[in-house]
Structure 1
């Protein structure tokens, strides 16, 4: 069961509102959990009365958040591993990261 939320324009108010639609999809390996963001593919013919789609790809697993700047896993506003402890980080990388963090006005809470 997959719920899709779309933004629909109200012609009178000229404001967008969420409109939800539920699709039933076949997950052959049963690899999805509640909260995953997935990509569905329409089946050439129905699998059953309600199942018209199948799971094509899991785009994002729930709870698996990667910081787009550093590529490191994070939980909320904290990194799961300390950036300064990383042995693969060069001096140029740390300078670049500190500049990006200052640009985004993010300060370190590890002191």
Structure 2
């Protein structure tokens, strides 16, 4: 859905969080919760209101918890599906500093090379532990 602003056409987009995944037939659908700010005319204050929408995930690349951009489809795919996932802004579990682009955990930066070494070391030590457990069960 496009909107005329002056003499140019702008595309309507929303930002929301994926809260549910579902597959209907050959469609990969995700439910995305977007937040609107509604005004209370009596108090003259804005209050948040949430709305859930079904979106088409063409690449099936989203996970529950991702922050995504929703864009309107030219044609609705189903009765209640009229938006699609444009792009993933923030993936769940991969927190990056917006200024430097480096991974961070809380307020500390994560050294990616030491993180990779730690994961490989944990993987090898877990496999040794699993072998010991299986040997103990056999005896």
Q: Output the TM-score relative to the length of structure 2.
A: 0.53
Between Structure 1 and Structure 2, the one with more strand by share is 2
Extract unaligned runs of 5+ from structure 1: 86-111
The count of aligned residue pairs is: 83
Q: Which has the higher helix share?
A: 2
Counterpart of 1:56? 86
Q: 1:27 aligns with which of 57, 73, 89?
A: 57
Deviation, structure 1 residue 14:
2.3
Structure with the greater alpha carbon radius of gyration: 2
TM-score, length of structure 1 as denominator length = 0.65
**Deviation string, structure 1 residues 17-71 (Cα, Å, up to 9, x no partner):** 1111111111022111111111111111110111111111111111222223433
Residues 1-111 of structure 1 correspond to what in structure 2 (within 5 A)? 1-81=31-111
CA RMSD of aligned residues (A): 1.9
2: CA distance between counterparts of 1:24 and 1:68? Answer: 28
**Bigger relative contact order (CA 8 A; separation at least 6):** 2
